[in-house]
Chain A
Amino acid sequence: MTDLIHEPEAGHHEEHEGTGIENRKLGMWVFLSSEFLFFGALISNYLLYSSRGGFEGTYPAEIYDIPFTSVSSFVLLMSSLTMVLAHNALTRHDQDGARTWLFATAALGSIFLAGQVFEFTEFVVEKGMTLSTNPAASAFYVLTGFHGAHVAIGVVMLLSLWGISRREGSLSEKHGMNLELVGLYWHFVDIIWIVIFTVVYLLSAAPA
C-alpha cells in the first residue's frame, strides 16, 4: 500500500466554497453518511426480530446457504476492485480502460443481483419463507431487499456512464466527476454488504 503515484484527478472542478472539496462530492459524502442511519435501522430491526423466539414458521438463519452467499460476497467485493480500477484508468486518461472496468463492475453487480434473486426464490419456493412468514423473515427481506435495490441503482448508473462513454468516445471532465461519485456510492454499497454478511449471515442464529 506504499506504492503511490501522484496524478491529476480527472473531473475535478473548483466548485467549492472554502471547503477544499467539490460541492457534489461533499454532498455525496454527506448522503452516504446519512445512509449509515438508514441501514443501521434495518440491521437493528433484523437483529431485534431474529433474536426473538416464539414466532411461527422458518427463521432466516435456519436456511442460509453460507457457501453460496460467500461467493456472492466475494463477487461484490471484487466489484469494488474493478470500480477503483475504472476510476484510476480515468485519472490516467485511459478512456478504454475506464470503459472496460466500468462494464466489469456493472457485470459483477448484476451477478450479485442474480444471486440475490436466486436466494430469494429458493427461500420462498423451496423453504417456504415468505415476506409475511414472521417478523424475522420480513426484517431479512426488507434489509437485503433494500441493499439489493441500492445495488440495482448502482448498476443502472454504471451502465449509464458506460453508455455515455461509448456514445461520446470518452468521458468528459464533467462525467469524470460523475464516475467518481458513482464510485463512492458503489464502494459504500460494498461496505454495507460487508456488515450484512458478517452480522446477518455469519453471526446470526435462530433462537433456541
Chain B
Amino acid sequence: MSNEHAHPTPASYWKIAVVLAVLTAIEVALYYIDRELELGSLNALILILLALAKFVIVVGWYMHLKYEKRIANSFFVAGFLLAIGLYGVVLASLGVLVIRGG
C-alpha cells in the first residue's frame, strides 16, 4: 500500500491560519456588537456557525481528517454526533433550551 497522501503546503497552512484568525476576530466583534444592538438569537446563531466553521477547518485541514481513511472519519464523526445528540437531548429535557446572546 502506498503511503502517499496529498497534504496542504506550509503556505496553505498559513493561509488557513489567517482565515481562522479572521473568524475569531469576527466572533469577538459580534460579541460587542450584540451588547449594543441586542441581536439575541441571531447573534447566537452566527457565533455557533462561526465556531463550527473554525472547528471544521481545524479538523479537516490541520488534523488531516479530510485526507484520512474512512474508518477514522467514521469514528471521529460518530463520537461528535453522539455527544451533540446525547447532551442536546439532556439539556433540552432539563429546560436549557436557549443560549442567550450577549
Contacts and interface: CB of A to CB of B under 8 A. Distances in A.
Contacts of A199: 48, 51, 99
Interface string B21-59: 100100110110000000000001001101100110011
A74 B87 CA distance: 27
* Dominant SS among interface residues on chain A: helix
A4 B78 CA distance: 28
Contacts of A205: 100, 102
A7 B5 CA distance: 6
Given A7-B4, A33-B80, A40-B87, A70 B28 contact: yes
Given A7-B5, A80-B62, A44 B17 contact: no
B55 A195 contact: yes
B63 A202 contact: no
Interface residues of B, number: 57
Interface residues of A, number: 61
B61 to A, nearest CB: 7
Highest count of chain B CB atoms <10 Å: which of A39, A81, A91, A198: A198
Interface stretch (A82-90, A122-130, A140-148): A82-90
A66 interface: yes
Contacts of A44: 87, 90-91, 96
Contacts of A54: none
Nearest to A192: B55
